[in-house]
Structure 1
Amino acid sequence: MRIGLPDVPALERGVSLLGSGGGGDTVTAAALLRNRLAAGHPMAVIPTPELAADAQVVPIGVIGAAAVFAEKLPSGAEFGAAVAAIERWTGRVADAVISIEVGGLNGVLPLVAAGQLGLAGVDADLSGRGVPRLDQLSVAAAGSGLAPAVLAEPGGQVLVLAEGTPAEVERSARAFLASSGGWAVLALAPIPAGQLPDCAILDTVSAALSLGRRALAVGERPGAEELAAATGGQVLGLGRVVEVSRRPGPREHGRTGFARGSVTVRDHRTRSLLRLEMENEYLLAMRDGEPVASTPDVLAVLDRRTGVPIPCDVVRQGVEVTVLRLPAAEFWTDPRRLPVLEPRAFGIDCDPILLGVPR
């Protein structure tokens, strides 16, 4: 699959929807991709079955504070430094790269990096949506672990995390980010392409592009039900944001975790109150106190006039919104993996409520 300039708006819309309110600045990421394509550099994404089984695929992506990333743009050397370091450490040469997360800016930036590095980009990722923690990536959920892992930050520091459980890698990475530039490029050990069906979510770049095309095809002022039908989702609410509450997250190991919050929407159709619990992403929807949708389904808050997704960190009181639910990737509905992204994984005492899955 080739990606050209006309595809960028649809890809950006698709990955922003899959971010579930998180995932970082897709507009900046799309601009970087657009600049590369405009300069005459072709962009191709290869389906997993077309790779040799022993092809070495390196997972890459940006982690850290999205706001800092937008203010402190990459030089272009970070991805190369991270991939080179993981190659040296493992003794294996990368043949291709795969994104750690299709939701948000990591649905786009690894494609830019693939072109810069002269490597193939793979039509798959390690999340199928936006996820907040490294220990929630699909490789960790499949039992493959994360170490060794490399972090390359914009100031030039490169850190190798040689060993550790997924939770330990997550904690060490956050500590590094707090003491460096606020964001870094992550590279994980190469995965043989033949193993990707067991530990990755396949065809997600093409799925994000298709999702974005269908969402944009509804028009500039999309109706809620038309948008849901086009994207294969469900309308949870349609109305005005009447309250946004933000608070510190739970403390873990003596350190404050990700910030928490909630968004309350008064539904114009039913006069009910729809409350969304959020962390880095929207996690749970409750209608008049009754849970109606949850992670790992994708919960998206869209500007009612334009259909543009509104991230958790910028949603505000007074805006008119459509709240949409999109189905989770099948990888996460497997009972063996569901606990990694269900509400209780975020400290919310609620069973998962998934689209199309009986309660």
Structure 2
Amino acid sequence: MSTQLTADDVRHLRTGAHFLACAIDPTAIHVYTDMVLRAMEHQSLELTTVDELASDDLVVAVGMVTQGLFIADMPPVGDEFLGCIKAMEASLGRRVRAIYPLAAANINGMIPLMVGLQSTLPVIDSDPMGRVFPLISQTTLNIGQVPISPIAMMGVTGERALVEANNPQRAETLVRALVTELGGWAATAMYPCTAAQLKAHGVHGSVSRMIRIGQIQDAETSVERKFLMLAELLDATRVARARVSHIEGLSRPTDLGLPAQPSSVTLEDESTGQIIRLEIQNEILLVLVDGAIAAAVPDMVTLLNSEHGTVVTLDDVRVGNVVDVLTYPAAAQWYSQAGLDLAEPTAFGIPLRHPRRSHA
């Protein structure tokens, strides 16, 4: 069922997008939020379900791909995504009928709202990740063997590219190289598919889930009450309330296309004495409690300020901080054999299998 989003919905979505991605470019997401709110003063914004579309309607994912440049350092002019959609339509010879977020978290959770307002296309309450992953090949559409290309790109300087590659990993390599050449970020449109394909292989309700998370986080209520509501919504578990004791950068190598410097955070639960270790590469990939796996990618992890219940961005973690470590499951597709092949720790260069591997 289609709904008209309000200004409050947009603000809550921003909060939810931050919650689902502890690593975030806060300036960029606020810039996009302000752009959306200003545009909404003059027109409405429609959030629709995939069921509202005709089964053969063409839909595409829109999102920003970055490689070493904060979006706020070189802000978009504003027409980049419209250019990508037009290039996609020219390549396929068909009109795009709706758009959906490349990832339902971080800046890419917010971008489709702006693109929807610019293009007057409805935004679908679905995405192909249900969270955020660093690679464009790490999607449930890839699991479902939905083609990733053509991929339309427009960079910092207005230069454009169209990538046609059948293999998602090869597409990943080409896109990353082009993003670097295009100036450090690129607006993209990719995974063109029918509404029926998105319905079969996407993660649904992911945009409205960001809004609901934001409603909980933004509410004037106690930290404990917020946690209880989040636990019910997300099936979240509080692994520990612990104090950061050590932060280190690691020399662990990363494969091409994994845009991160690996790091590790050690915490101590002062009530139990347990030692918590977080392995980080853009997102938190692994949570160990006294050496045992408490959560592993694709499981999701969020750090909250223990006093205020607000999200702790990874770049802001400091020795002495006391944080709540929350874990919650990803979309069901990620726990299939094919999903774990794409997104368990080994896919990030950590030689550990996900605990659910034997049951997948």
TM-score, with normalisation over the residues of structure 2? Answer: 0.90
2:348 aligned with 1:346? yes
Does 1:258 find its partner at 2:260? yes
**1:241·1:319 contact (CA, 8 Å) conserved in 2?**
yes
1:128 aligns with 2:130: yes
Unaligned runs of 5+ in 2: none
Alpha-carbon distance in structure 1 between the residues aligned to 2:230 and 2:201: 29
| 137-146 or 84-93, larger mean C-alpha shift | 137-146
Do the aligned partners of 1:60 and 1:98 also contact (CA within 8 Å) in 2?
A: yes
Q: Which structure 2 residues correspond to residues 178-327 of structure 1 after superposition, within 5 A?
A: 178-217=180-219, 219=221, 221-222=223-224, 225-226=227-228, 228-231=230-233, 232-252=235-255, 258-327=260-329
Which residue does 2:32 correspond to in 1? 29
Q: How does 1:87-98 map to 2 (within 5 A)?
A: 87-98=89-100
Take 1:142 and 1:239, find their aligned partners in 2: how far apart are those partners?
39
In structure 1, what is the Cα distance between the partners aligned to 2:60 and 2:222?
Answer: 38
User: Equivalences for 1:125-204 in 2 at 5 Å?
Assistant: 125-204=127-206
1:265-285 per-residue CA deviation (whole Å, 9 max, x = no partner) reads: 211321211111010110110
Aligned equivalent of 2:76, options 57, 68, 74: 74
Which shows bigger deviation, 210-219 or 68-77? 210-219
Q: RMSD over aligned Cα, in angstroms?
A: 2.4
SS at match of 2:278: strand
Superimposed CA distance per residue, residues 109-139 of structure 1 (whole angstroms, 9 cap, x where no aligned partner): 1111111011111110111001010111222
Deviation track 1:35-65 (CA, whole Å, cap 9, x = no partner) reads 322x232111001111111111011101105
Aligned residue identity for 2:314: C
Q: CA deviation at 1:304?
A: 2.0
Query: Among 326, 329, 332, which residue is 2:331 paired with?
Result: 329
Cα distance in 2 for partners of 1:262, 1:129 equals: 21
Aligned 8 A contact 1:127 1:138 in 2:
yes
Task: Note if contact 1:249-1:257 (Cα within 8 Å) is conserved in structure 2.
Answer: no
1:203-252 deviation per Cα after TM superposition (whole angstroms, max 9, x unaligned): 11112212222333372645685365354311012122112212355254
* Alpha-carbon distance in structure 2 between the residues aligned to 1:53 and 1:41: 27
User: Which structure 1 segments of 5+ residues have no match?
Assistant: none
Q: How many equivalent pairs are there?
A: 354
Q: TM-score, normalised by structure 1?
A: 0.90
Distance 2:271 2:67 in 1: 37
Superposition map of 1:109-120 within 5 A: 109-120=111-122
After the TM superposition, which of the residue ranges 97-106 and 263-272 deviates more from structure 2?
263-272
Cross-structure match for 1:3:
5
Match 1:102 to one of 84, 101, 104: 104
Contact 2:148/2:192 (8 A) holds in 1: no
Question: Which shows bigger deviation, 306-315 or 264-273?
Answer: 306-315
Q: Deviations over 1:137-171 (max 9, x none)?
A: 22222222312111111210111112241111111
Q: Structure 1 pair 67/158, CA: closer, same or farther in 2 (3 Å)?
A: closer
1:194 & 1:28 partners in 2: Cα distance?
33
Q: Is the 8 A contact 1:23 1:103 kept in 2?
A: no
Distance 1:54 1:282, change over 3 A: same
Q: Matched residue of 1:32: which SS?
A: helix
1:57: which partner in 2? 59
Identity, % of aligned positions: 27
Query: CA contact under 8 A between 1:250 and 1:258: conserved in structure 2?
Result: no
